[in-house]
Amino acid sequence: MRISTLITGLATCGTIFGAATSPALAHAGTEHRIKVREEPVAGQYNKHWYNYRADILEADKELKSDLRRATDAEDIRDAWEEYENELIDADKDYVEEMRDRNYRVGRVTVGG
């Protein structure tokens, strides 16, 4: 399979399933602290961006499965904690890959 075909297919899947990857939309009414990137670092749609999006989709799918199997409040908390950890890990890996390629992630701090 040619890389351009694969990238086009992934981009199409991202457009079609984009709403499902947003934790707020996929799990309405649940508060979470982690934000999922909607745009790639420096606008670079490369394999690292698509790997990041695949990690997010996998984490979302696993969360849904864990929540279906949850039998008590502790199971639900554990599922959400694991989900947040996976989102943090996916973002950390993505940012690290982009920094290795000299793309910087901007950060704004307001106040002290």
pLDDT score for 31 = 62
pLDDT score for 33 = 75
pTM of the model: 0.68
Instruction: Say how far apart CA 10 and CA 70 lie, in whole Å.
Output: 32
pLDDT score for 1 = 47
pLDDT score for 21 = 46
Q: Are 41 and 103 in contact (CB under 8 A)?
A: yes
Q: Is the dihedral of CA 27, 32, 37, 38 positive or negative?
A: positive
pLDDT score for 104 = 84
> Which parts of the chain sit beneath pLDDT 70?
1-32, 107-108, 112
